[in-house]
Structure 1
């Protein structure tokens, strides 16, 4: 019986991972198209009346206006695609293959690609002012998506630490903990070297706070039973990464020697590739963090090959709908100012502060999850 259960579980895992992979490809293609059109593909659209609002600008500013509105359009197309599938699939867990919703999730691929193309063509002829409103909506709701990512990250850090302890990898745990703190300190030192200095007091303050916070939550981890210096080390490294990424988003050449405000096409390409990898990878993993996203279920749940799916279809599409909003912000630097001529990815003051605030939220949430079991003793945190 155990072998039969394992076979069924493996079948479900492979089947549904293949389906998820197709949606990842669709999403990734949308992100790549948005990046290409924003950076290099504005020509031709300026002759359409729906882009007339960009005629008030000239040269690079006009290209930026058209590029940003194209990004908003693709974001809107992807959101509609995933959002309506989410609505259709609410409550459906794959236990009835005769239900048309099984085909909605697992099939009709050619029709879906044609549908995406049709929606995009239709959006081309919708006037720009509509998508400025859409940009504002994306700006607000993308904060929700970032919070989801942070919650996922905290859960992953906790799970990783528990895995090392459960498998009694104590030597590896010690080695990795030391390595993490070495990396965190190195990142902080490099941040001071490249982004700090007397002329960049804000940068120096932000970097210093990373170190101060690391000392605080590391000390707490050593003092409380629910703490783990390994988990604190992971948090330290991630927060250091967020801050160095934030400071690298500045367009201030004095405080950011890596500023790419006037970058060439070849300089932009690595940033484009990195953006695609980060968005798709984080979204794919986040979509697997719902309680319903599990492969380790009770054997009684499997009554045949047409039983419950190992993840929530509707939540999966909800995550990708939210990610569709997020890409609009990432690819425009969270800046709705359409006169910006920069074609680089995820740059600007707003983008910088989004990362800095995200780092503070990660710090606060991680610290809270460490001390909460001591403060709220009547709650079950398992």
Structure 2
């Protein structure tokens, strides 16, 4: 036993110098070097998301080009069997769906190859932020492959794209509501921050005044006649939702203030206005859409603004993966990726489906007018349902703590009784 103890002690003594010989002076330098490398990798990752956004914008502009001008310019596609005579099955609605499918394939490949990436030093993080030559080749192949699918498969993709576009709208809606909640907590945290609270109250008044003015203007432009009963219904129901949200926010048991409800009110008014603007051209209650189809500068400008706005919405939703995490108390480490790569590419893949639906107005049989986007009764009802769904989620977010509080108190009371 004594010999065994002595041998163990001897080995321990021999091991101490070997551990102490670690160059401690180099450790701070190594840590600083690693920190610099992590910062460089993080900057690459943050730059990469803008490149993906530009790629997404260019692809969707290409989809618009195939819809409006593909028949004239791309007649040579007739030699591709899947494009049919004179390339008709690769233009208009089917052309949009083919380009959307190519974009969807590309971002799905990126999703599969980057999902569950956690650290900046992983190979998948390097793939996400670099290797652009290879990825551009992959993008070209993805876009080209979609033009060799038979038209019936493209139609099936169009049906699936409707579902994907709906999922995208839900994700975008959750992201918007989480942003509104963050804004409210940042500007109106507590009573001690008087300056911040006063700024929040002032901002909430601006949003509510803007919402009321928006309601009045929509009545004036789109609901002046009894023939416009549907528009009057949409506007009136929106006004009711604003009133209900304000009343619940100010209720003593909820007491959430007016800032978040004011921002949400403006968002609902915008959705209602956008839905009415999407009504078909032959509708008598939408005079601003009563054009002869010519592309004047206002039509072109509004079209381009709409595209850029949708791209920005897709981009902001893609980098907002924290809104969809169950655990939001996780501490961010220095070598963690700045945003969830897999979720980012998933949103862009679903965004490709959503863009396709906007370009064809959710209708797989008829092509939309030139320089138009998201026009038709289907588009109108999609936006109206989205508005009502947004109001429902927000109202539940307001009242859920009050509804759950009695259950928590009952559980605590039962545990105390058992104790």
TM-score under structure 2 length normalisation: 0.79
Partner of 2:96: 71
Indicate the SS of the match to 2:71.
coil
SS of residue in 2 equivalent to 1:291: helix
**1:173 equivalent in structure 2:** 200
Aligned-pair CA distance for 1:337: 2.0
Structure 2 distance, partners of 1:8, 1:201, is 62
How far is 1:260 from its partner? 5.7
Rounded Cα–Cα distance in structure 2 between residues aligned with 1:179 and 1:234: 9
Match of 2:125 in 1: 102
How do 1:314-333 residues align onto structure 2 when only pairs under 5 Å count? 314-333=342-361
Q: What is the match of residue 59 of structure 1? A: none
- 1:7: Cα distance to partner? 7.2
CA distance in 2, matches of 1:319, 1:17: 16
Note the C-alpha offset of 1:111: 2.0
CA pair 314-112 structure 1, distance change in 2 beyond 3 A: same
CA distance in 2, matches of 1:44, 1:80: 25
Secondary structure in 1 matching 2:321: coil
Q: Counterparts of 1:198-277 in structure 2 under 5 Å?
A: 198-223=226-251, 224-251=253-280, 252-259=282-289, 262-267=292-297, 268-277=299-308
CA change 1:314–1:13 in 2 (3 A) is same
Root-mean-square deviation (CA), in Å? 2.9
| Worse overlay, 24-33 or 109-118 | 109-118
Contact 1:249/1:347 (<8 A) preserved? yes
Equivalent position of 1:145 in the other structure: 168
Residue 58 of structure 1 corresponds to which residue in structure 2? none
> Could you list the runs of 4 or more consecutive aligned residues of structure 1 that deviate by over 6 angstroms after TM superposition?
4-9, 292-297
Bigger mean CA offset, 40-49 vs 161-170: 40-49
CA 1:339 to 1:156, structure 2 compared with 1: closer, same or farther past 3 Å?
A: closer
Q: Structure 1 pair 28/222, CA: closer, same or farther in 2 (3 Å)?
A: same
1:11–1:171 Cα change, 3 Å: farther
Deviation, 1:154, is 0.8
Distance 1:231 1:339, change over 3 A: closer
Q: Aligned residue for 2:312?
A: 281
Separation (CA, whole Å) in 1 of partners of 2:212 and 2:86: 47
Structure 1: which 5+ residue stretches go unaligned? Answer: 56-61
Determine the C-alpha separation between the residues in 1 that align with 2:102 and 2:83: 17
**1:50 is aligned to 2:70:** no
Contact kept in structure 1, 2:63 and 2:96, CA below 8 Å: yes
Which consecutive unaligned segments of at least 5 residues does structure 2 have? 1-27, 409-419
1:341 is displaced (CA, Å) by 5.1
Does residue 120 of the first structure (1) align with residue 140 of the second (2)? no
Aligned length: 364
Structure 2 Cα separation of the partners of residues 292 and 243 of structure 1: 25
The structure that has the greater radius of gyration is 2
Alignment match, 2:15: none
| TM-fit CA distance, 1:198 | 0.9
2:111 aligns with: 86
Mapped to 2, the partners of 1:108 and 1:260 lie a distance apart of: 49
Q: Are residues 12 and 184 of structure 1, via their aligned partners in 2, closer, same or farther at CA, if it must alter by over 3 Å?
A: farther
Distance in 1 (CA, whole Å) between partners of 2:244 and 2:85 is: 51
- Partner Cα separation in structure 1 for residue 247 and residue 91 of structure 2: 51
- Establish whether residue 192 from structure 1 lines up as the match of residue 215 from structure 2: no
Q: In structure 2, what is the Cα distance between the partners aligned to 1:235 and 1:293?
A: 19
Q: What corresponds to 1:111 in structure 2?
A: 134
Residues 331 and 340 (structure 1), Cα distance of their counterparts in 2 relative to 1, 3 Å cut: closer
